[in-house]
Amino acid sequence: MKFGRANDGEYIMRLPLVALIDVVLFLLLYFLIAGTLASPESSLSATTTPDRKGGGRGNALTAQVLKVEPAMGGAGGGSGARFVIGARVSTDRAGLREVLSSLPKDAGIVIKVSDDVAIAAAATALQVARDVGFSKVSYVAGN
């Protein structure tokens, strides 16, 4: 039997398996830690909650529309205009304040002003809307 080296002149290349094992274990450790730190998708909150049943209030979703129109027969408040929001009509600043104070403020208000109305009536509607507490006030000119 011959127990010596086969070819003393040839160098047999050996891969360093220790480094390969270290890299594999490092990647395994990385994925284990990354998987436990991230919250599971089942516990993420959805943007729409399924536990709310029934419809919401319709007027909370859309802005209220206040129409400023010329008063019929010319007999209106000081500006000769009437303020219409839905079925409610008022002809003066105090009546408009009363109507607007009973509305939800979050969605905002759109003020549509007719071409035939004086600027003072449009300014009154805008100012009362701000005074009552509407933060989103939109002005639309014309019919």
- 109 within domain boundaries: yes
More confident: 143 or 65? 65
- 132 within domain boundaries: yes
Q: For position 62, what pLDDT does the model report?
A: 81
pLDDT in tens, 76-132: 445 589 999 988 999 999 999 999 998 888 888 999 999 888 899 999 999 999 999
Half-sphere exposure of 63 toward its Cβ, with a 13 Å CA cutoff? 16
- 112 within domain boundaries: yes
- CATH number, residue 91: 3.30.420
Domain limits for position 71: 62-141
- 119 within domain boundaries: yes
Q: How far apart are CA 41 and CA 96, in angstroms?
A: 50
Q: How far apart are CA 17 and CA 21, in angstroms?
A: 6
Q: For position 46, what pLDDT does the model report?
A: 62
- 66 within domain boundaries: yes
* Residue percentage of the chain with pLDDT more than 90: 35
Count the domains in the chain: 1
- 12 within domain boundaries: no
73: left (phi over 0), alpha (psi -120 to 50) or beta: left
Neighbour count for residue 112 (Cβ, 10 Å): 18
CA-only gyration radius of the chain, Å: 38
Edge to edge, the sheet with strand 109-113 lists: 88-90, 81-85, 64-70, 109-113, 137-141
- 45 within domain boundaries: no
Over residues 29-45, the mean pLDDT reads: 77
Q: How far apart are CA 82 and CA 92, in angstroms?
A: 7
Q: For position 67, what pLDDT does the model report?
A: 93
- 18 within domain boundaries: no
